[in-house]
Amino acid sequence: MGLSRRERREQRKKLLKEQRLQQLRVGDEHDKKLELKSEHKGLLKIYDKHYMKLLIFPILLFIIAVGLIVYQVATTGDFMNRGVSLKGGMVITIPADTTVSTVELEKILKAGFPKDELEVRSVAEFGVQKAIIITTDNTASEKQILDSITPLIPNAKEEASSETTGSSLGRGFFKQTMLALIIAFVCMSIVVLISFKTLTPSLMVILCVFADIIETLAIVNILGIRISTAGIAAFLMLIGYSVDTDILLTSRVLKSKEGTVFSRVLSAAKTGLLMTLTAITAVALGLIISQSGTIKEIMTIILIGLILDIINTWIQNVALLRHYVEHILPRKGLKPTPAPALAEEERMYETDIEDDSEDQDEDESAQEEKDDADDDSDDNENKKSSGEDEDDEQK
């Protein structure tokens, strides 16, 4: 006895499923062999296999930065070198018709005013000195300073201009700018937490941004740069630059469906490093071309922060994130990404098989209906022929 239509359909589905799954397994084995052959070599191999060992470098860098800031507080009483706009003082600007040695000028001023904090810098345009800027924390010493530098700059008294900021006003500016910086950091942290909805990856992003700020501040202190309100604005910009690449990396690793964790890291690194290097190029050109002290201060801080962000994002954050995805999540029985590609393809092929079977069933049903119709037609013709023969016999 022949098989029913349902049994034939089940046999076809089973046969097609086995054939296609076998093809998938063969293709998957081939891809694995190719992946083994194309295993990363050189620096990428170290970056892939020893990422937790590389974490030592950003950790040491952060510890050293914190130590330098602690030393700064112990020796000066402040965690940064505040400029006149943040602590009060006076800025004297003197146009220079001839080239004046800032080193010699600073020696004269420090010898005449040993208790004052003095800084002398030159403003140049296309390599030509245009002005001398003298900064001091003593707001009552303008006349004495101009008298002492007259032998080097004869027109100092006549052409000098000064800008004075009171100590109380400077402290007020400092508190306001620091409050703005703290609020910006807290708001950034809240947005990151809302975006990822998971505490651990969010804390990794926040830690990376915090490390960028602390390490940049430590280097700025070493370089002796006096931070003004413009410098605080540069730190605010640095928060945005830092969190940008961290969010890119975390989103690509946690939410992407393609490839291994390391392949997602490399994919994010291509985009993130291109963004950072583009920003570094633009900032470096601005630092070289601009002659404004304010712009130079901003560009210097951002440049230092962007360089440090490469270390903190692509070594520190990558190591922590990979450890979280590859070791912590499996212990919790969680998967950071949907089912593997093979299972997804199997599901798609099963759907295709069912669609093919349904199409074949429809074709068979149509064929059976046609055959039934032909049989009925033949029966009617036979009946008609039999009736005609009976009529002839009667006649």
Task: Check if the beta carbon of residue 112 is closer than 8 Å to that of residue 100.
Answer: no
Domains of the chain (ranges; CATH) run 43-79+169-332 (1.20.1640.10), 89-165 (3.30.70.260)
pLDDT digits (tens, 9 = 90+) for 73-97: 999 888 888 887 788 788 888 887 7
**Biggest alpha carbon–alpha carbon distance for the chain:** 154
**What's 127's DSSP letter?**
T
- Which residue type is seen at 226? R
pLDDT digits (tens, 9 = 90+) for 96-115: 777 777 778 878 888 877 77
Give the helix ranges, DSSP H, for 224-292.
229-255, 261-289
pLDDT digits (tens, 9 = 90+) for 212-234: 999 999 999 999 888 888 899 99
pTM for the model stands at 0.70
Task: Check if the beta carbon of residue 170 is closer than 8 Å to that of residue 84.
Answer: yes
Q: What percent of the chain has pLDDT over 90?
A: 30
Q: Pick left, alpha or beta for residue 162 (phi over 0 → left; psi -120 to 50 → alpha; otherwise beta).
A: beta
Work out the average pLDDT over 174-187.
90
Listed in sequence order, the residues at least 6 apart from 54 whose beta carbon sits closer than 8 Å to its beta carbon are 46, 47, 315, 319
| pLDDT higher than threshold 80 for residue 376 | no
